[in-house]
Amino acid sequence: MPARAKKPVSVVTGGAGFLGSHLTDRLLAEGHRVIAIDNLITGNPANIGHLAGNADFRFIKHNVSNFIFLPEEKLDYVFHFASPASPIDYLELPIPTLKVGALGTHNTLGLAKDKKAAFILASTSECYGDPLVHPQKEDYWGNVNPIGPRGVYDEAKRFAEAMTMAYHRYHKIDTKIVRIFNTYGPRMRLRDGRVVPAFIGQALAGKPLTVFGDGSQTRSFCYVSDLIDGIFKLSQSKFHEPVNIGNPREMTIKQFAEEIIRIMGAKSSIEYKPLPEDDPKVRQPDISRAKKILGWQPKVEFEEGIKKTIEYFRNASKSAGSN
């Protein structure tokens, strides 16, 4: 028992989500005890089902926009990953999205302050909005429409960053901010509105792949294990300014659709629809800071990562069909 007490203790909000569950796995593999907190409005208990019975893992169903009470005397890390994160979610849940960015960040920072823990904020490339600078570096302030439909997510994260830096400067909390770019991999929801599950789901069903606009807008896709590796390295660093974590390999949405069709051997065509309001035209991280400070860069090639993701969705759709 004494040996177990010496393990670092980490809280992961949004712990049943896509990224939160992968982060939980990584922390457990690094010898941490993990307390995952999630209200399951977008999280999925199946993402953490494999951890049932693990003595180093505990799950609490709770909305972190409300006060968080944890009796643990000691916490070492608080990872704030709770938030709707796909357009379909934050457009359906605009007020909870704003609340978890504001009240949830306030509550988790308060928890970190009370327990003298390091705090790691999951921020987003959406802080850059529809960028006028390409690729995006951390010192770019962004081009965001605060009253547009996407503003509820963009501004929630921008406010969360401001509050995190205020706690760092005023309360001397050890804080880190990760700006997460497009990430894909197993445990994404098939119908979460993001381009990777959307295209794979449409190809699996033999439907046309829906491309918004003319497909010339770009995205940069990072495999989930690479992203989590960067986040873990950041958590162990002494750096407090925001850090981009993502894969700089940029491709147009049209190219991405064509790659999915090719890799899956699908018969799907491409169907074009109007571009949603404030949809970013370009998205590519400048990862110079992550390389220099963390010694991090992505390792998983696109084709390798996308094949693993396709396999996950194939199995998920089979099991859903058999229920």
1-7 long-range contacts, CB within 8 A, separation 24+: 4/33, 4/55, 4/56, 7/31, 7/32, 7/33, 7/56
Q: Is the dihedral of CA 190, 196, 198, 202 positive or negative?
A: negative
Classify residue 295 as exposed, middle or buried by CB count within 10 Å of its CB (0-12, 13-18, 19+): exposed
Give Rg (Cα) of the chain.
Answer: 19
- Exposure class string for 157-179: b at 16+ Cβ within 10 A, else e: bbebbebbbebbeeeebbbbbbb
Of residues 77, 90, 128, 153, which has the active-site annotation?
153
Q: Could you tell me the two tokens for 34?
A: 């993990």
> Is 90 a known active-site residue?
no
Q: Would you name the residues annotated as active-site residues? A: 153
